[in-house]
């Protein structure tokens, strides 16, 4: 066995995922520096290309240059391909190619897929992968068709088709990139469609389906036959719905009288915009109003939603809605004096609780530390820097306009945060940590006072 094969076999699933994403980002960055990728025929600075490749692969949406203005069709397609690979996961894409050529999927590859999909078992894993690919293509094609029909009213057919496909893919993958920079100004996003019910509903549905996770989608499609949902799906759907409704209600209350945001809109558009930003903030990253004009309280509320993020195994980031549910469950259990966290008549295992707490603390430490570092480097308000950092970690892409003006060192820091947000702090910790050794003894139990 050659050394290369030995080295490959020595890599754990977390390491494969970490190194795989890093390699894709580097490849994308090199492609984006080509003059062919620029709308102006010049080379984009490597750091800016690296930032955009990281943002696309990590399905974030933060941008230092406007995708529609800066990039040629080739460059835009590179961004789109990186987004698709990042959203579905490179292992999923690799499995698709392997299945297409009838190649056997090894046990090791199944372990990596299990890690990538945040799936609890290898049983039915390949069936899930097939479903992931079919569901994704079906949703993206449906979204592209619906958007193309609407945009044919505003632009020629071929351009409407291109815009439809592009935005359907980026919205479903929760990347948040758009091509409206050449039409309504750089970084303008969907501001021109704030009153368009059709566009708002289609985009919200694409973001929502991309954010609930493929396991949940599979459960929903099987519900007609099984008449039951897994505990995971019940938790994701319940808490996602609660977060959407509460987020929309708070957004409406806080911004209703703001003359720069919801104030000038009629009541229907205010409600629609509130739901749009509640859904988008969890990972979608697009907006129909200028986010810097929001009240500070609203920006902080969106920041919290970005931190929570989407569901495991989805195209979104954050600490994940299931982790948030476990933390809420732990708080309720403690208040009621219960030893176990019970959800839908199921008791949660202790290792799940410990993992949820660990993941939350790692995320809190990362976001807080990075925001403090940026506040030393950049002369900006701390809330704005914290907002940008949380957006990067939650792979959301919402921005208060700081990203294009950041210093080179700050851009590198944000790239690292986006990478950690996509791969996951725990996955990276497992990848970098030495191989665990079996403990030969346990220490005696001790007690400390809490509260």
* 1: in domain: no
- Per the domain annotation, does 65 fall within a domain? no
> What pTM does this model have?
0.86
Residues 371 and 386 sit within 8 Å (Cβ to Cβ)? yes
How confident is the model at residue 388, as a pLDDT?
A: 95
Share of the chain above pLDDT 70, in %: 82
Whether residue 159 is predicted with pLDDT greater than 70 in this model: the reply is yes
Q: Is residue 8's pLDDT more than 80?
A: no
Domain that residue 389 falls in: 129-431
pLDDT band at 121 (very low <50, low <70, confident <90, very high): low
Overall number of domains in the chain: 1
Higher-pLDDT residue of 38, 20: 38
Express each pLDDT in 368-420 by its tens digit: 999 999 999 999 999 999 999 999 999 888 999 899 999 999 999 999 999 88
| Biggest CA-to-CA distance, the chain | 74
pLDDT value at position 169?
Answer: 93
pLDDT at 435 over 70: no
- Per-residue confidence (pLDDT) for residue 188, from 0 to 100: 84
Measured CA distances, 38 to 30, 54, 116, 166 (Å): 12, 17, 33, 18
pLDDT tens-digit readout, 329-358: 999 988 888 888 889 888 988 888 888 898
Look at residue 343 and give its three-state secondary structure.
Answer: strand
Q: Is residue 311 part of a domain?
A: yes
Given a contact cutoff of 8 angstroms between Cβ atoms, the answer to whether 131 and 99 are in contact is no
Please report the pLDDT score of residue 118 as a whole number: 53
pLDDT grade for 218, boundaries at 50, 70 and 90: confident
CB 68 within 8 A of CB 179: yes
Q: Once rounded to an integer, what is the mean pLDDT over residues 55-81?
A: 93
> What is the pLDDT at residue 416?
93
Is 90 exceeded by the pLDDT of residue 241?
yes
pLDDT at 198: 96
Bigger pLDDT: 308 vs 128: 308
Per DSSP, 345 falls in state T
> Using one digit for the tens of pLDDT, what is the confidence trace for 190-211?
998 999 999 999 999 999 998 8
Could you tell me the two tokens for 259?
């003359």
Q: Please indicate, yes or no, if residue 29 is contained in any of the structural domains.
A: no
- What is the per-residue pLDDT across 312-324, written as a single tens digit (0 to 9) for each? 877 778 899 999 9
Q: Is residue 367 part of a domain?
A: yes
Domain-located, residue 347 = yes
Token pair, residue 338, equals: 């219960």
What is residue 38's DSSP assignment? Answer: B
HSE-CB for 421 with a 13 A CA cutoff? 41
Q: Is residue 264 part of a domain?
A: yes
Can you tell me the mean pLDDT for 78-102?
A: 67
- pLDDT at 112 > cutoff 70: no
Residue 330 lies in a domain: yes
């Amino acid at each position: 066995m050659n050394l290369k094969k030995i080295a490959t076999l020595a890599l754990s699933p977390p390491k494969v995922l970490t190194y795989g994403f890093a390699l894709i980002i580097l490849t994308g960055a090199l492609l984006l520096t080509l003059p062919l990728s620029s709308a102006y025929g010049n080379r984009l600075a490597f750091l800016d290309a690296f930032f955009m490749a990281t943002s696309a692969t990590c399905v974030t949406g933060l941008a230092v240059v406007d995708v529609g203005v800066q990039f040629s069709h080739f460059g835009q397609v590179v961004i789109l391909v990186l987004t698709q690979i990042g959203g579905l996961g490179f292992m999923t894409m690799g499995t698709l190619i392997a299945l297409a050529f009838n190649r056997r999927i090894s046990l090791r590859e199944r372990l990596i897929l299990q890690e990538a999909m945040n799936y609890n078992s290898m049983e039915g894993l390949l069936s899930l992968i097939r479903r992931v690919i079919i569901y994704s293509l079906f949703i993206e094609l449906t979204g592209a068709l619906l958007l193309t029909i609407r945009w044919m009213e505003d632009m020629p057919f071929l351009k409407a088709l291109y815009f439809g496909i592009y935005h359907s893919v980026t919205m479903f993958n929760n990347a948040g990139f758009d091509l409206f920079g050449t039409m309504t100004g750089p970084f303008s996003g969907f501001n021109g469609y704030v009153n368009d019910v059709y566009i708002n509903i289609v985009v919200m549905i694409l973001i929502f389906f991309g954010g609930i996770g493929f396991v949940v989608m599979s459960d929903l499609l099987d519900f007609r036959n099984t008449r039951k949902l897994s505990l995971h799906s019940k938790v994701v759907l319940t808490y996602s719905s609660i977060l959407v409704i509460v987020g929309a209600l708070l957004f409406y209350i806080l911004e209703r009288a703001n003359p720069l945001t919801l104030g000038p809109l009629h009541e229907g558009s205010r409600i629609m915009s509130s739901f749009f930003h509640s859904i988008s903030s969890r990972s979608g990253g697009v907006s129909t109003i200028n986010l810097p004009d929001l009240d500070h309280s609203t920006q902080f509320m969106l920041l919290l939603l970005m931190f929570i993020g989407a569901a495991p195994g989805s195209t979104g980031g954050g600490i994940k809605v299931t982790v948030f549910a476990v933390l809420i469950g732990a708080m309720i259990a403690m208040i009621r004096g219960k030893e176990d966290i019970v959800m839908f008549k199921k008791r949660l295992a202790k290792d799940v609780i410990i993992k949820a707490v660990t993941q939350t603390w790692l995320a809190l430490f990362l976001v807080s530390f990075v925001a403090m570092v940026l506040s030393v480097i950049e002369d900006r308000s701390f809330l704005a820097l914290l907002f940008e950092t949380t957006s990067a970690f939650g792979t959301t892409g919402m921005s208060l306009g700081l990203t294009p003006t950041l210093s080179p060192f700050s851009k590198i820091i944000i790239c690292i945060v986006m990478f950690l947000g996509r791969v996951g702090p725990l996955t990276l910790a497992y990848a970098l940590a030495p191989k665990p050794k079996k403990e030969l003894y346990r220490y005696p139990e001790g007690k400390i006072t809490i509260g």
